[in-house]
């Protein structure tokens, strides 16, 4: 079984609600993203910025057998990628926090220095993560939108496509979720 068939099937399974499929998917997607990200970061890009969805698109094309791909695969794949990104960042922030607790001699890693987030340096990623968990409890759709937009780097249009929801709704939900998160975090 080639890895692309593997990924396609796992995506379908995950789409059907099989959470174990996600755990199998993550390392596959991760290794492909890692390879692509390495290339991307080495490549000359305008303003150093990665084309937000280019990575995922590329990983998707590499991992999925396009002949047998269904459009849902793509949506699911973006979902996996966004979740993966979120998980990586949160793990990283936790490690960072642990390191800070370890004392001043520990290596200090900041998200912004690592990736030039373009955000205020004090954006607390763990707080954001926890707020999102809270948001998920009463508005899972908004939480998903934030995940896809912020962690997955999707545009409004792409998010709309992936979630099969109209633009206008995505835009309004995004606006509100952002307002709520901002109030929560600031």
Partner 1 sequence: MRPDRWKKVKQIFQAAMDHAPSERAVFVSDACAGDEELRHEVESLMSSDGRAGAFLDSPAYEAAAAIIVDNKSGLKKGQTIGPFEILSFISRGGMGEVYLARDPRLSRNVALKILPAAFTKDVDRLRRFEQEARAASALNHPNIITIYEILKADSTHVIATEFVEGETLRQRLSRSTFTLSESLQIAIQVADALAAAHKVGIIHRDIKPENIMLRPDGYVKVLDFGLAKLAEDSPDVSMEEALTKQVRTGSGVVMGTAGYMSPEQARGKAVDARTDMFSLGAVIYEMVTHRKPFDGETPSDVMAAILKSQPQPLSEFFSDAPPELSRIVMKALQKDPEQRYQVVKDLLIDLRSLKQDLEFQEKMGSRAPAPPLQTATASVIPTSSTGEVRSALSTITDSLTIEIKRHRIATASSVVLLLVVLSAGAYGLYRYFRHAPVYFQTTKVTRLTNSGKVIDATLTPDGRYVVYTLSDARKQSIWIRQVSTANDKVIVPPADVGVFGITVSHDNNDLYYVIKQQLDKGTLYRVPVFGGTPMKITEWLDGPVTLSPDGKRMAFVRGSFPAEGESALIVANLDGSGEQVLAKRKRPLAFAPIFFTGPTWSPDGELIAAAVADVTGPSHVIAFRVSNGKETDLTPAGQPFIARTLWLPDMSGLLMIGGNSAADSQVWLAPYPGTCARSPTTWNNIVTSGCQKKPTSL
Instruction: By CB under 8 A, name the binding residues for partner 1.
Output: 30, 33-35, 37-44, 46-50, 52, 55, 84-86, 88-89, 92, 107-120, 125, 137-139, 146, 149-153, 172, 175-176, 178-183, 186
Q: How many CA atoms lie within 13 A of 12 on its CB side?
A: 11
Q: Any residues with CB less than 8 A from the CB of 107 and at least 6 apart, and which? A: 99
CB 181 to partner 1: min, Å: 7
**Cβ proximity to partner 1, 7 vs 148, nearer residue:** 148
CB 69 to partner 1: min, Å: 21
Nearest in space to 81 (alpha carbons), one of 152, 6, 8: 152
Residues in the chain: 186
CB 99 to partner 1: min, Å: 11
Q: Within a 10 A sphere around the Cβ of 43, how many other Cβ atoms?
A: 8
CB 14 to partner 1: min, Å: 20
CA atoms of 67 and 57, how far apart (whole Å):
16
């Amino acid at each position: 079984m080639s890895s692309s068939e593997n990924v396609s099937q796992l995506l379908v399974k995950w789409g059907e609600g099989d959470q174990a499929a996600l755990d199998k998917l993550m390392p596959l997607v991760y290794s492909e993203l890692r390879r692509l990200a390495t290339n991307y970061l080495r490549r000359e890009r305008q303003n150093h910025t990665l084309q937000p969805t280019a990575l995922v698109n590329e990983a998707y094309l590499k991992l999925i057998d396009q002949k047998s791909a269904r459009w849902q695969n793509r949506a699911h794949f973006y979902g996996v990628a966004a979740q993966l990104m979120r998980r990586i960042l949160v793990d990283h922030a936790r490690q960072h926090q642990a390191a800070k607790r370890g004392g001043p001699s520990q290596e200090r890693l900041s998200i912004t220095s690592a990736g030039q987030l373009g955000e205020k340096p004090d954006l607390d990623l763990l707080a954001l993560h926890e707020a999102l968990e809270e948001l998920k409890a009463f508005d899972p759709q908004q939480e998903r939108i934030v995940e896809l937009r912020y962690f997955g780097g999707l545009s409004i249009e792409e998010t709309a496509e992936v979630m099969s929801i109209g633009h206008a709704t995505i835009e309004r939900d995004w606006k509100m979720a952002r307002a709520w998160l901002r109030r929560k975090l600031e």
